[in-house]
Amino acid sequence: MINVILADDVKILRAGLKAVLASDSDINVVGEASNGKEAYEMSVRMKPDVVLMDMRMPDYDGSYGTKKIKDTLPNVKVLVLTTFDDKETVDKAIASGADGYILKEMDNEKIINSIKAVSGGINVFCDNIFRSIKKEVFVQQDAKNFDLTEREIDFLKLICDGADNKEIASELFLAEGTVRNGISRLLEKLGLKDRTQLAVFAIKNNII
């Protein structure tokens, strides 16, 4: 069972979303919050698997709630669900440590599948967000500028595909421990914090 907290300042939207999630027997909504602070405090008490977080809320927004949750409860996954796909909002969510970013316009089934994926350790970003990231202005650099090995490039490509360590190990015929250690070294080499930042790095630098 995946325990979920809903964080959105619009009560009727929370009610509608709760009804949608109730249709799936694997998901259980354990709490509702109207801003980022409430979401954080509720997460401390309830230790959910996933927090479904809106970004723009009064007083304490989604970036506040996301950062507090990820700093205090790193095992709790935060999946942003919002109507905004502008660069500023996306960047704030990623910088705050969000494990995924999807839009409210998505089909109900895709929202449910995204929750399950994030709960399982896979970072999820909808197509709109990937296109937004690709359109950013940046200096193109190839893998050689970062002294990346072919194996590390393979890791980056599979991470961008949403593969977890077990799936990467299977695809590359490696031990799961080897994959885990390799990704840890890659994070250290690039000065990055997590898989989400690796995916953004790969896209920004035209590696995938």
Give the start-to-end residue ranges of the domains of the chain. Answer: 2-134, 143-204
Task: Judge whether residue 189 has pLDDT over 60.
Answer: yes
* Domain at 2-134, CATH homologous superfamily: Response regulator (3.40.50.2300)
Tell me which of 54-63, 176-185, 194-203 is least confident. Answer: 194-203
Give residue-wise pLDDT tens across range 74-97.
999 999 999 988 888 888 898 899
DSSP 142: -
**Given pLDDT bands bounded at 50, 70 and 90, which one contains residue 71?**
very high
Per-residue model confidence (pLDDT) at position 161: 86
Q: Where are the beta strands (DSSP E) in the chain?
A: 2-7, 27-33, 50-53, 77-82, 100-103, 124-125
Return the residue matching tokens 């309830």.
Answer: 46
Q: How many CA atoms lie within 13 A of 163 on its CB side?
A: 20
For domain 143-204, the question of CATH label 2.60.40.1730 is answered with no
Residue 145 has pLDDT above 80, yes or no: no
pLDDT at 15: 95
Percent over 70 (pLDDT), the chain: 91
Q: According to the model, what pLDDT value does residue 201 have?
A: 86
Task: Tell me the C-alpha distance between 156 and 163, whole Å.
Answer: 10
pTM of the prediction? 0.65
